[in-house]
């Protein structure tokens, strides 16, 4: 199998975290020549997005959450699915909350990094939206080392990469205290960075991020 991925993408990084934690033998490759909107890539993923998992049969799967669940189904051990149904539902929630409540603000802020496009009013609104999204994560975090229960799960695969981006954005836009009001989240993020597998993915993402001036 092959995963189309880019180091910085929090959605591709979700899947890399699962691959590393489960010790899977899956090739991790960049998008083909011509990029995400090339005919070759659109044939695999009509949305032209990362990540895409290509099976040995040639079939291709888009969407990080779908890929994570597929990997759990075909490689059940070690499991990244909490056993308790309620915990599993909560873990799946962490795959959805960032998509709806963090992604839009992150993409807005990404475009605002360019001094030519910078608009302070838009930045302020996006930072407020980001903070609101973080408050939703805070509501559902376990308060333990891992996002849900006492083991790493698909919830951590989703959370760590997006928090890497949020923390980078916070530093770029000089908001060092952005996460601080959310005690469980702030502690989770500090602790998560000490885990070796999380640290590997965080380092991959950071290596591809432009440096804040």
Ligand X SMILES: N[C@@H](CCC(=O)N[C@@H](CS)C(=O)NCC(=O)O)C(=O)O
**Which residues are near ligand X by CB under 6 A?**
9-11, 36, 48-51, 63-65, 99
Triad 37, 43, 46: Cα angle to 5°: 60
* Residue whose C-beta lies closest to ligand X: 49
Instruction: Tell me the closest approach of the beta carbon of residue 95 to ligand X, in angstroms.
Output: 8
The closest alpha carbon to 51, from 59, 60, 40, belongs to 60
Q: At its nearest, how many Å lie between ligand X and the CB of residue 144?
A: 25
Minimum gap (Å) between residue 115 Cβ and ligand X? 23
Nearer Cβ to ligand X (50/147): 50
- Which residue, 49 or 167, has its beta carbon nearer to ligand X? 49
Q: In angstroms, what is the minimal distance from the CB of 181 to ligand X?
A: 26
- β-pairing, 2-4 vs 27-29, is parallel
Question: Can you tell me the distance from the alpha carbon of 168 to that of 212, in angstroms, rounded to the nearest whole number?
Answer: 8
Query: Which position has the token pair 């903070």?
Result: 131
- Burial pattern 166-181, b for ≥16 Cβ within 10 A else e, equals bbbbbebbebeebbee
Minimum CB distance to ligand X smaller for 53 or for 148: 53
Q: Which residue number, 48 or 193, has a Cβ lying nearer to ligand X?
A: 48
In angstroms, give the least distance from the CB of 98 to ligand X: 9
Nearer to ligand X, 66 or 139 (CB): 66
d(CA 151, CA 73): 18
């Amino acid at each position: 199998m092959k995963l189309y991925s880019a180091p910085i993408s929090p959605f591709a990084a979700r899947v890399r975290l699962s691959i590393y934690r489960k010790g899977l033998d899956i090739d991790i490759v960049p998008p083909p020549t011509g990029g995400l909107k090339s005919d070759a890539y659109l044939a695999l993923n009509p949305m032209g997005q990362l990540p895409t998992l290509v099976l040995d049969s040639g079939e291709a799967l888009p969407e990080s959450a779908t890929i994570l669940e597929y990997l759990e189904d075909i490689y059940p051990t070690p499991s990244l699915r909490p056993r308790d149904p309620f915990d599993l539902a909560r873990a799946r929630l962490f795959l959805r909350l960032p998509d709806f409540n963090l992604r839009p603000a992150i993409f807005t802020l990404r475009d605002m990094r360019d001094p030519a496009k910078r608009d302070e009013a838009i930045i302020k609104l996006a930072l407020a939206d980001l903070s609101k999204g973080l408050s939703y994560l805070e509501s559902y975090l376990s308060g333990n080392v891992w996002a849900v229960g006492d083991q790493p799960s698909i919830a951590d695969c989703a959370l760590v990469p997006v928090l890497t981006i949020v923390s980078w954005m916070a530093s770029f836009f000089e908001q060092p205290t952005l996460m601080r009001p959310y005690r469980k989240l702030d502690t989770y993020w500090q602790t998560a960075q000490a885990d070796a597998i999380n640290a590997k993915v965080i380092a991959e993402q950071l290596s591809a991020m432009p440096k804040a001036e």
